[in-house]
Amino acid sequence: MKILYSDGFKIHRYGKALGQFTHYFEFYYQSSIMIKKILLLFLITSCSFYAAAQRTKPVSVIFDTDMASDYDDVGAIALLHYYADIGKANILATIASSKYPRVAAVLSVFNTYFNRPDIPIGVPTGTTSEDPGWQHWSDTLVAKYPHKIKTNADAMDAVKLYRKILATQPDTSVTIITVGFFTNIADLMRSQADEYSPLTGEQLIEKKVAKLVSMAGRFPSGSEYNMNHVASRTVYVFKHWTRPVIFSGYEIGAQVHTGIPLINNNKITNSPVKDVFRISIPQAKEDANGRMSWDETAVLVGINGAAPYFNLHYGRVIVNADASNSWIDGGNQAYLIFARPAAEMETFINNLMMHQPLK
């Protein structure tokens, strides 16, 4: 009995041990499956985040502006800094296509106000517009707000700055946004090898530029100030330009009026953006409901793309000797057509223009 009991105990003990082993094996097996599932989920999530990061990589922008010949450029640079603040834009340079005496200082005022005082600034050295703008807001800004660059002589030559910036960027990575004349683009295209790159200007553009987004032209045909002001340069650019282009034509910005909510916002003080609209809007009856917002739409599309506010009509611009333009279908250029009511775009831009610098 004792032996049988002992053997029975052993059998019971071994059976219990075997049951425990089976239980532990099953536990670890299930745990292993769970761990694999967790690792798989982590991998999928990581890939998703990586893909999202790739999709939201900041747009590298060179901003080319006739700052002060009109003041929608001010709304445009405010939007550009807003997108930089939220991580959607990387501002490589702010370059003037006009050269009135205060233009470099004005660009420096805005870059300093938005906490980016070291953004490179370029000014043309060749023949171009020297119009300071009839509203005379630029003198107020230079007198009132801090700025690192004091005179045009402190800024870099526009074409040299273009070449310096483009030469250091990854291939097909740069978006050029022009909201002024084609002075600099034409001169860049004609430029030759220098200390920054062995490539010609056209070769640099072909290698480094992803696309050009321009507030210029009337579509499908017409005449517009930014195109016809330096007509010979405009003609040259669009005779030789090969990279993709998106045009925000006169007819787009003419339907979008902005600035009134900004100047009526008492919470915003000591803002050069607000001061420009506050000074300028009362000076023209046509601005009673806000300034027409040509340049802001170019920045918006340059950073966000056309959707959801616009559709793209693809083809190619034809620029005549006087820089009036027409259009033919078939090509890698496009002009904007409203996909949603202009009033929605107006509200959207008005809200963005009230963005304040990050502390």
pLDDT, residue 176, reads: 98
Are the CB atoms for 139 and 102 separated by under 8 Å?
A: yes
Q: CA–CA separation, 226 vs 213, rounded Å?
A: 13
Q: How many Cβ atoms sit within 10 Å of the Cβ of residue 224? A: 21
DSSP 322: T
Distance of CA 197 to the CA centre of its chain: 25
* Angle (CA) 161 165 170, round 5°: 165
Collapse the DSSP code of 327 into the 3-class scheme (helix H, G, I; strand E, B; otherwise coil) and give the result: strand
Partners of 317 in the β-ladder: 327
Instruction: State the greatest distance between any 2 C-alpha atoms of the chain, in Å, as a whole number.
Output: 119
Q: Is 88 exposed, middle or buried, given 0-12, 13-18 or 19+ CB atoms closer than 10 A? A: middle
Q: Which two tokens stand for residue 181?
A: 């004349």
Cα angle 299, 196, 88 (rounded to 5 degrees) comes to 25
User: Which pTM value belongs to this model?
Assistant: 0.84
In 3D space, the residue among 345, 338, 218, 219 whose CA is nearest the CA of residue 290 turns out to be 345
Question: What is the pLDDT, as a whole number, of residue 68?
Answer: 80
Ordered mean pLDDT values, 10 residues apiece, the chain (359 residues): 35 43 44 43 37 67 92 97 98 95 96 98 86 85 96 96 98 98 97 98 98 98 94 96 98 97 97 97 94 97 97 97 96 97 97 93
Q: Which CA distances in Å does 7 have to 13, 17, 258?
A: 10, 15, 95
